[in-house]
Structure 1
């Protein structure tokens, strides 16, 4: 029986969710890098430190999501369990990096920058969490893709 062109398998959905997360994480990473390099930005030393740490954390999150997508793209029956473990670990690590970035802004003054960064990071965290959920669903389906 031919698959309907618009039907989505658990693998398709997991890959799509990771692609969304990766795209948003890249955008936030670029934004944070631009803000942290802005010479005319009037922020405290503590804010600059939190921002610098956040740039690094989100960059790591992007790398973890790249690895996740690569693993999901190359799933094989004989190594499925191992690959799913890798994908779940990397997506979870990406989420942890995003949370760590947010943690760095605890107790930092400067409402505008802090709220802007938090909003963007929380958005990435939501889509990354959704991606991890879809990966877990794929794992539960045992790769029926």
Structure 2
């Protein structure tokens, strides 16, 4: 009888695993994975281009990090160019924000590198690193916006729109990373 329960619960655990639920045999990995993301519509929109190219949750998490890196890099470039046209009051906030976005890009690049090298023996450590770095990127993005609380106008609204977009894709990437199981 004990053997029956062992096999029953082993099979149950296997089917409850997030990796199995979103396995390569799943008809639409992107759609099933994005369904419960923090920002499901953003997740689906930004990752749908990868639909036929990714076959595992790990590849999807890597794709999400690549999207986040791309968006953060573009926001960082935008902020760097914005420093030239911003007034004196805005310039300090823009400069600080550009630095924060640049740090986010670095944190996300480290995360991508870690996800590409996941190993069974060091999986928990690597996942802890990846989660910490993506969380740090989110904190940088949030801190970036803090500098604009006392500033009104177009610069503030443009920066807020761009940085909020980066934060949404980064948050979704963190969600997908958190769903990963051992390699």
TM-score w.r.t. the length of structure 1 is 0.87
CA deviation after TM superposition for structure 1 residue 42, in Å: 5.1
Query: 1:124 aligns to what?
Result: 166
Note the residue ranges of structure 2 that are not aligned, 5 or more in a row: 1-23, 26-51
Residue 61 (str. 1) matches residue 104 (str. 2)? yes
Q: Within 5 Å, give how 1:10-25 maps onto structure 2.
A: 10-25=57-72
Residue 78 (str. 1) matches residue 125 (str. 2)? no
CA distance in 2, matches of 1:76, 1:119: 37
CA distance in 1, matches of 2:158, 2:105: 19
CA deviation after TM superposition for structure 1 residue 107, in Å: 1.1
Higher relative contact order (CA 8 A, sep 6+): 1
CA distance in 1, matches of 2:107, 2:139: 10
Higher radius of gyration, 1 or 2: 2
CA distance in 1, matches of 2:76, 2:86: 20
CA deviation after TM superposition for structure 1 residue 62, in Å: 0.4
CA distance in 2, matches of 1:32, 1:21: 16
Note the residue ranges of structure 1 that are not aligned, 5 or more in a row: none
Match of 1:102 among 137, 145, 148: 145
Match of 2:89 among 33, 46, 51: 46
The structure-2 alpha-carbon separation of the partners of 1:114 and 1:73, relative to structure 1 and needing over 3 Å to count, comes to: same
CA distance in 2, matches of 1:129, 1:42: 29
Query: 2:132 aligns to what?
Result: 89
TM-score w.r.t. the length of structure 2 is 0.70
CA RMSD of aligned residues (A): 1.5
Give structure 1 regions of 4+ aligned residues with deviation exceeding 3 angstroms.
Answer: 3-7
CA distance in 2, matches of 1:66, 1:96: 16
